[in-house]
């Protein structure tokens, strides 16, 4: 399985049966699973959402958004609970306006799941933890 490093964005090949054995990046030597969402930008988005074979759950958010702030701890907790089944990434729509425009983000938070560049699911609005877990379970 091809997985992008959350620290240096390098693509790594990891056998699927070894995903739970805390694999490390061949370049920077850090763990491939940080149990925390990564900050996605127009620079690293391609490696994480298109080239990586690991599905990524993306939270499009903004610092001024109240629902985004209240959903942030739920999203962070999910990264701890659901890795290595999913990677979790956040896109600040104010700083990454080109990505927000590319995906027609009209309301925030907006959640999307990508696998190798394909959009698997989209959800507008924050979800309570049980509903978010149920949504993730459908795509695991």
CA distances from 72 to 27, 44, 90, 128 (A): 30, 21, 9, 11
5 catalytically annotated: no
Name the active-site residue from 8, 25, 28, 65.
Answer: 65
Contact 5, 30 (CB under 8 A): yes
Query: For residue 67, what is the enclosing H or E element?
Result: helix 66-82
68 catalytically annotated: yes
* C-alpha closest to that of 48 among 91, 80, 105: 91
* C-alpha closest to that of 99 among 43, 53, 50: 43
Name the active-site residue from 8, 25, 28, 68.
Answer: 68
Query: For residue 130, what is the enclosing H or E element?
Result: helix 129-138
Give the catalytic positions in this structure.
65, 68
């Amino acid at each position: 399985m091809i997985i992008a490093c959350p620290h240096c964005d390098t693509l790594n090949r990891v056998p699927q049966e070894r995903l739970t054995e805390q694999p490390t990046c061949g370049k920077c030597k850090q763990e491939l699973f940080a149990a925390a969402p990564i900050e996605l930008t127009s620079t690293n988005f391609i490696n994480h959402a298109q080239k990586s074979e690991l599905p990524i759950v993306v939270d499009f958010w903004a610092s001024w958004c109240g629902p985004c702030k209240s959903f942030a701890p739920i999203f962070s907790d999910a990264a701890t609970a659901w890795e290595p089944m999913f990677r979790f990434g956040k896109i600040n729509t104010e700083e990454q306006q080109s990505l927000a425009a590319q995906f027609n983000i009209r309301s925030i938070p907006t959640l999307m799941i990508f696998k190798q560049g394909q959009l698997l699911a989209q959800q507008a609005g924050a979800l309570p933890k049980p509903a978010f877990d149920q949504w993730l379970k459908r795509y695991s």
